[in-house]
């Protein structure tokens, strides 16, 4: 029986639960002996000119070795914005700010000390003379807003279409048109492990950098670029990584500065940021404003949809600035809408740069269309489940091309919706809701739906073939080693990749070791993000294992003096045997003893895959206090074939909780001066196990044909499906009281305010 599809326990966990992980701050290595410690002096102002920096006082503080400011690094090239084709190329940045600061938290200077505890005292002694400028905040910036980058001449980082490209007659013929401007708020990735780096240079001028990341090879490329080095001069090693959520891709200026300090001082250097620094200077996520307009017939046919996006890219355009590209690609989601259009604009503001965050652009698209569906349903007075069913794309066997260029591989969206509704007991829930409404219960029930389709395992574009490599080696002692270009940080690749190799090679999972995240050992790889790992990295492991068996078959034939065609592979013994003569056999381990038995391969997929599903959230709202409580969460997340249900469920659980947290509580808040108000975990909330129920996961598996495993990505389904379902449920709970929309996070206060406004409105209508 195949091990695939079974609940193999995570081989990673005994170590994490006993001795614990080894994170970048924990790394003990001879190359890091005698390391100094780097501390960043960060801007306390959102927007200001720097008149002068005086580090002299800090140099005499206890333990201080050196202090540097932007001027010391001025010979390094300015860093261009990401995707400079799409983004205004003048919006460049420096590793340490030189003339201007553009957000609270921007690194301005560094102090280097002997011991880690000396740095925070020492940075207080760096004197910086700032000339404050007005902050630039929000989505719709006034025409006379000060410019973040004078040379750019604008605060618009980039545009995809614009107002003049909109079709004036898009909604012609629609009986009902609803429009609303909503916010998909800025959130903080807040991984348990903050950012860190350790850097050492060898005498041959090569840098070794330990950095928590999502792909050592991509981190090496960016680090080399930031430091003006050739990639061959850089080795990146990935220790255990305590969460990333998209925000640990590549390298940040701080990582490069630590490496620069190590070279300048001829001494290894280390840095670990504090939680405060993490919350104000690791990239944030989301941060889009949507104007959604939806039109159709009174009986629920959606005929036209328009999405206008403004992306708050933060101060320096990074991935966040181009996320609307992905949002636009997924504009219509799982629906068949005859006329649809989308435009986007990214603006820079004096806030922390925005980057990728679990779902990166797709949750925003889903949130927009799912709110639009509910607004439309409420306007025509038709059940939101019916409106969805009526407009979902019918099941398709051949890939479906959308008007926005996406090619959906396989899908049966109606079946997903029906399965979720059935698992939820939808009709019964609606009845209970009606009862509570009728009895004017203080605690009202809300039922929220979200049907989604998303894109996973995207290459450089939606159709550039994504690839990943893997090596598999069998050793003479019967163990095996896998090298992968993916970069697990909680997902369980060590277990899953071992299952795949075990299934082919007949070697027990516990005898298989997975290695990743060392660019000298594994020079190529795409890392882990965009839910790509299993469908490409896992597929590569299976392919490498199969190719290894072919190599072994040849050698076994020679060793057994038999015909290759007469050999059968006996998985129970991990050996080739002559058909009909099991005594005449040779195990893989013996073949490996005779000659190294190793295969490296590259798997290439025809394109991205599109998982889909429906989430149903059941929320209770205390109408006196406004407090919402999540009672139930029922989800169908169809990501094709499931390799290990335990791992897949783990991805769903974490994602759902994280997605619900965006809907309920999470938000990065700035005051009117651009000061971050959510710079500690006392103020920046997320949900814990106490605030969420046990999730009810319904199973559905529609295989893809894009890889032999039939798998799609599951890593981001939770944050894509759950957020709008929860938001819709909160609004649904109070819809009968006249509430049509509440922006996220739907906190108690916001719900109470919405109730009050609705009551005031209905009161004024009465009179």
Partner 1 sequence: MIPAPFDYVAAQSPEHALELLAEHGDDAKLLAGGHSLLPMMKLRLATPAVLIDIGRLSELAGITADDGELVIGATTRHADLAAAELARSQAPLLAHAAALVGDPQIRHRGTIGGSLSHADPAADLPMALLALGGRVELTGPDGVRTVSADDFFVGFFETVLRPQEMLTAVRVARKPGVPWGYQKFVRRANDWAIVGVAAVDGRVALANMGSRPLRATAAEQAMADGASAAEAAELAAEGTSPGEDIHADREYRAHLARVLTRRALEHQR
Among 26, 150, 524, 624, binds partner 1 (CB under 8 A): 624
Residue 275 or 298 having the CB closest to partner 1: 275
As measured in angstroms, the least distance from the Cβ of 506 to partner 1 is 47
| C-alpha to C-alpha distance for 96 and 278, rounded to whole angstroms | 17
As measured in angstroms, the least distance from the Cβ of 118 to partner 1 is 9
Residue 402 or 658 having the CB closest to partner 1: 658
Contact region for partner 1 (CB under 8 A) — 116-124, 382-390, 475-483, 572-580?
A: 116-124
**By rule CB under 8 A, what string of x and - marks binding of each residue 60-89 to partner 1?**
------------------------------
**CB-count exposure of residue 427 (10 Å: 0-12, 13-18, 19+):** exposed
- Alpha carbon of 708 to those of 313, 476, 500, 643, 712: distances in Å? 38, 29, 12, 12, 11
As measured in angstroms, the least distance from the Cβ of 115 to partner 1 is 10
**By rule CB under 8 A, what string of x and - marks binding of each residue 321-350 to partner 1?**
------------------------------
Contact region for partner 1 (CB under 8 A) — 30-38, 113-121, 335-343, 348-356?
A: 113-121
Among 553, 600, 627, 741, binds partner 1 (CB under 8 A): 627
Nearest to 537 by CA among 487, 503, 489, 495: 487
As measured in angstroms, the least distance from the Cβ of 435 to partner 1 is 23
Q: For residue 319, what are its two tokens?
A: 């991935």
| C-alpha to C-alpha distance for 673 and 225, rounded to whole angstroms | 34
Residue 173 three-state SS:
coil
Residue 439 three-state SS:
coil
As measured in angstroms, the least distance from the Cβ of 275 to partner 1 is 7
**By rule CB under 8 A, what string of x and - marks binding of each residue 706-735 to partner 1?**
------------------------------
Residue carrying the six token digits 């195949």 = 2
Task: Count the site residues for partner 1 by CB under 8 A.
Answer: 27
Residue 242 or 485 having the CB closest to partner 1: 242
Q: For residue 491, what are its two tokens?
A: 């997902």
Contact region for partner 1 (CB under 8 A) — 89-97, 268-276, 588-596, 640-648?
A: 268-276
User: Which residues partner with 294 through β-bridges?
Assistant: 178, 305
As measured in angstroms, the least distance from the Cβ of 357 to partner 1 is 20
Centroid of chain to Cα 205? 34
Residue 395 or 677 having the CB closest to partner 1: 677
HEC string for 187-198: ECCCCCCCCEEE
Residue 19 or 688 having the CB closest to partner 1: 688
Contact region for partner 1 (CB under 8 A) — 253-261, 274-282, 289-297, 530-538?
A: 274-282
As measured in angstroms, the least distance from the Cβ of 628 to partner 1 is 11
Among 289, 349, 366, 747, binds partner 1 (CB under 8 A): 747
**By rule CB under 8 A, what string of x and - marks binding of each residue 663-702 to partner 1?**
--x---x-------xx-x--x-x-xx-xx-----------
**CB-count exposure of residue 181 (10 Å: 0-12, 13-18, 19+):** middle
Q: What DSSP string runs through 548-589?
A: HHHHHHHHHHHHHT--GGGEEEETTTTEEEETTEEEEEEEHH
**121 makes contact with partner 1 (CB under 8 A):** yes
The angle, 0 to 180 degrees and rounded to 10, between the axes of the packed helices 645-664 and 717-734 is: 40
Residue 404 or 686 having the CB closest to partner 1: 686
Among 274, 464, 563, 762, binds partner 1 (CB under 8 A): 274
As measured in angstroms, the least distance from the Cβ of 134 to partner 1 is 23
Decide: 281 and 311 in contact? Cβ < 8 Å.
Answer: no
| C-alpha to C-alpha distance for 443 and 69, rounded to whole angstroms | 57
Contact region for partner 1 (CB under 8 A) — 73-81, 117-125, 355-363, 502-510?
A: 117-125
- 54 CB-side CA count, 13 A: 7
As measured in angstroms, the least distance from the Cβ of 136 to partner 1 is 21
Residue 446 or 745 having the CB closest to partner 1: 745
Residue 311 or 678 having the CB closest to partner 1: 678
Residues between 353 and 392 with contacts to partner 1, criterion CB under 8 A: none
**749 makes contact with partner 1 (CB under 8 A):** yes
**162 makes contact with partner 1 (CB under 8 A):** no
Residue 603 or 752 having the CB closest to partner 1: 752
Residue 459 or 626 having the CB closest to partner 1: 626
Residue 488 or 628 having the CB closest to partner 1: 628
Residue 114 or 336 having the CB closest to partner 1: 114
C-alpha radius of gyration, the chain, whole number: 28
As measured in angstroms, the least distance from the Cβ of 765 to partner 1 is 23
- 133 CB-side CA count, 13 A: 23
Contact region for partner 1 (CB under 8 A) — 111-119, 488-496, 631-639, 698-706?
A: 111-119
Q: For residue 111, what are its two tokens?
A: 């102090």
Residue carrying the six token digits 């379902």 = 725
| C-alpha to C-alpha distance for 346 and 308, rounded to whole angstroms | 11
Decide: 260 and 95 in contact? Cβ < 8 Å.
Answer: yes
Q: For residue 317, what are its two tokens?
A: 């355009």
Residue 18 or 688 having the CB closest to partner 1: 688
As measured in angstroms, the least distance from the Cβ of 133 to partner 1 is 25
**760 makes contact with partner 1 (CB under 8 A):** no
Among 231, 479, 564, 748, binds partner 1 (CB under 8 A): 748
Q: What DSSP string runs through 367-380?
A: HHHHHHHHHHHHHH
Q: What are phi and psi of 690, to 5 degrees?
A: -65, -30
What stretches of 454-538 show up as alpha helix (H) in DSSP? Answer: 493-505
**How many Cβ atoms are within 10 Å of 703's Cβ, its own excluded?**
16
Residue 276 or 404 having the CB closest to partner 1: 276
Centroid of chain to Cα 132? 34
| C-alpha to C-alpha distance for 203 and 60, rounded to whole angstroms | 30
Residue 264 or 627 having the CB closest to partner 1: 627
**757 makes contact with partner 1 (CB under 8 A):** no
| C-alpha to C-alpha distance for 359 and 742, rounded to whole angstroms | 22
Residue 36's contacts (CB-CB under 8 Å, 6 or more residues apart) are 65, 112, 113, 114, 261, 265, 267, 268, 269, 270
Residue 166's contacts (CB-CB under 8 Å, 6 or more residues apart) are 306, 308, 341, 343
- What is the H or E stretch that residue 388 is in? helix 384-391
As measured in angstroms, the least distance from the Cβ of 690 to partner 1 is 4
Residues between 631 and 670 with contacts to partner 1, criterion CB under 8 A: 665, 669
Among 13, 99, 120, 554, binds partner 1 (CB under 8 A): 120
As measured in angstroms, the least distance from the Cβ of 748 to partner 1 is 7
- What's the CA angle centered on 90, arms 88 and 95, to 5 degrees? 120
Task: Give contact residues for partner 1 (rule: CB under 8 A).
Answer: 116-117, 119-121, 274-276, 624-625, 627, 665, 669, 677-678, 680, 683, 685, 687-688, 690-691, 747-749, 752-753
């Amino acid at each position: 029986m195949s091990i695939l599809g079974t609940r193999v326990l995570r081989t990673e966990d005994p170590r994490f639960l006993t001795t614990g992980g080894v994170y970048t701050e924990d790394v003990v290595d001879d190359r890091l002996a005698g390391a100094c410690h780097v501390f960043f002096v960060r801007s306390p102002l959102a927007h200001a000119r720097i008149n002068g920096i005086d580090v002299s006082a800090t140099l005499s503080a206890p333990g201080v070795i050196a202090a540097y400011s932007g001027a010391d690094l001025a010979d390094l090239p300015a860093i261009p914005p990401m995707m400079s084709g799409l983004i205004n190329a003048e919006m460049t940045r420096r590793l340490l700010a030189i003339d201007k600061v553009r957000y609270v938290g921007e690194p301005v200077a560094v102090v280097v000390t002997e011991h880690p505890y000396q740095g925070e005292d020492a940075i207080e002694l760096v004197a910086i003379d700032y000339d404050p400028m007005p902050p630039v905040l929000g989505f719709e910036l006034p025409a006379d807003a000060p410019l973040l980058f004078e040379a750019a001449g604008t605060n618009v980082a980039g545009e995809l279409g614009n107002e003049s490209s909109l079709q004036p007659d898009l909604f012609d013929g629609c009986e009902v048109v609803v429009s609303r401007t909503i916010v998909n708020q800025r959130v903080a990735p807040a991984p348990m492990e903050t950012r860190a780096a350790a850097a050492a240079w060898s005498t041959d001028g090569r840098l070794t950098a330990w950095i928590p990341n999502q792909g050592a090879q991509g981190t090496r490329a960016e680090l080399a670029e930031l430091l003006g080095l050739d990639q061959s001069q850089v080795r990146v090693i990935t220790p255990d990584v305590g969460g990333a959520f998209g925000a640990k891709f590549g390298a940040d200026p701080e990582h490069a500065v630590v490496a620069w300090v190590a070279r300048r001082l001829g001494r290894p250097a280390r840095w670990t940021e504090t939680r405060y620094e993490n919350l104000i200077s690791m990239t944030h996520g989301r941060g889009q404003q949507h104007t959604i307009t939806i039109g159709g017939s009174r009986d629920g046919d959606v005929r036209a949809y328009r999405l206008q996006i403004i992306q708050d890219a933060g101060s320096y355009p990074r991935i966040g600035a181009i996320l609307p590209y992905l949002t636009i690609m997924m504009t219509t989601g799982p629906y068949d809408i005859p006329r649809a259009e989308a435009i986007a604009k990214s603006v820079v503001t004096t806030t922390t740069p925005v980057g990728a965050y679990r779902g990166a652009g797709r949750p925003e698209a889903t949130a927009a269309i799912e709110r639009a569906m509910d607004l439309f349903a409420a306007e025509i007075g038709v059940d939101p489940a019916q409106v969805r069913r009526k407009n979902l794309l019918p099941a398709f066997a051949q890939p479906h091309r959308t008007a926005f260029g996406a090619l959906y591989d396989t899908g049966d969206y109606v079946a997903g919706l029906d399965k979720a509704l059935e698992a939820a007991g939808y009709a019964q829930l609606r009845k209970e809701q009606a009862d509570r409404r009728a009895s004017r219960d203080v605690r009202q029930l809300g039922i929220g739906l979200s049907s989604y389709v998303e894109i996973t395992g995207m290459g450089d574009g939606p159709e550039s073939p994504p690839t990943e490599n893997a090596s598999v080696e069998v050793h003479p002692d019967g163990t095996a080693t896998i090298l992968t270009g993916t970069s697990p940080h909680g997902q369980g690749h060590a277990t899953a990749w071992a299952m795949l190799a075990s299934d082919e090679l007949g070697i027990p999972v516990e005898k298989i070791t997975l290695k990743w995240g060392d660019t000298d050992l594994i020079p190529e790889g795409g890392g882990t993000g965009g839910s790509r790992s299993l469908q490409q990295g896992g597929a590569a492991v299976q392919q490498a294992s199969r190719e290894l068996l072919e190599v072994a078959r040849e050698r076994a034939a020679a060793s057994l003096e038999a015909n290759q065609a007469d050999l059968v592979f006996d998985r129970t013994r991990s050996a080739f045997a002559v058909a009909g003569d099991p005594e005449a056999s040779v195990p893989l381990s013996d073949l490996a003893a005779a000659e190294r038995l190793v295969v490296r391969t590259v798997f290439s997929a025809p394109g991205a895959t599109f998982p889909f599903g429906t989430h149903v959230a059941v929320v209770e709202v205390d109408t006196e206090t406004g407090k919402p409580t999540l009672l139930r969460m029922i989800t169908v997340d169809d990501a094709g074939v499931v390799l290990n249900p335990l791992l897949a469920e783990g991805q769903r659980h974490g994602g759902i909780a994280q997605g619900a947290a965006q809907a309920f509580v999470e938000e990065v808040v700035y005051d009117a001066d651009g000061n971050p108000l959510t710079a500690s975990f006392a103020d920046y909330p997320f949900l814990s196990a106490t605030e969420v129920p046990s999730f009810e996961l319904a199973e559905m598996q529609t295989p893809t044909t894009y890889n032999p495993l039939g798998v799609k990505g599951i890593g981001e389904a939770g944050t894509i499906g759950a957020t709008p379902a929860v938001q819709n449920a909160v609004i649904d709970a109070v819809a009968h009281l006249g509430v049509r929309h509440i922006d996220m996070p739907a906190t108690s206060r916001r719900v109470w305010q919405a109730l009050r406004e609705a009551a005031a409105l209905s009161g004024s209508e009465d009179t």
